[in-house]
Amino acid sequence: MYERKTSIDIKCPLEYGMDVFGGKWKSRVICLLNQKKKLRYGELKNTLANITDTVLALTLKEMTESGIVERIQYNEIPPRVEYSLSEKGQSIVPVLENICKWAGFYYKNTDETRLSICYGCNYSKGE
């Protein structure tokens, strides 16, 4: 299993925020769970094209440990696990939606057209 080689050195609130929801996959997982409310591991994997099992498992573990995602395991055969946003995770959604609005306004693709929709969140062009 992966272990950090250095300790986390967070000196300001922004660094903490980027640790909690930054990176390529965490914000996508948050937006997806906000949209769908509950998803199983396989549903997350299928929706997040190009993510490996190792990266998804590590991302979900980190987000569960930081209190952003809740993991519910049902005692059934076959085993069933569902992931959903915690209250802390839901509080991040407006922040991510504002980032989407900002990026939708300022980012331009190479063909000079603006981004049309954010991945999995409620923001779309024109809102």
**Cα–Cα separations (whole angstroms), residue 78 to 33, 57, 71, 73, 92:** 23, 19, 17, 11, 33
Given this model, what pLDDT does residue 101 score?
Answer: 82
Sign for the CA dihedral angle at 105, 109, 115, 120 comes to negative
CB count within 10 Å of CB 108 equals 10
Q: How confident is the model at residue 71 (pLDDT cuts 50, 70, 90)?
A: very high
For the segment 79-91, what is each residue's pLDDT rounded down to a tens digit? 899 999 999 999 9
Give the pLDDT band of residue 3 (cuts 50, 70, 90).
low
Whole-prediction pTM: 0.78
Using 50, 70 and 90 to split pLDDT, how confident is the model at 107?
confident
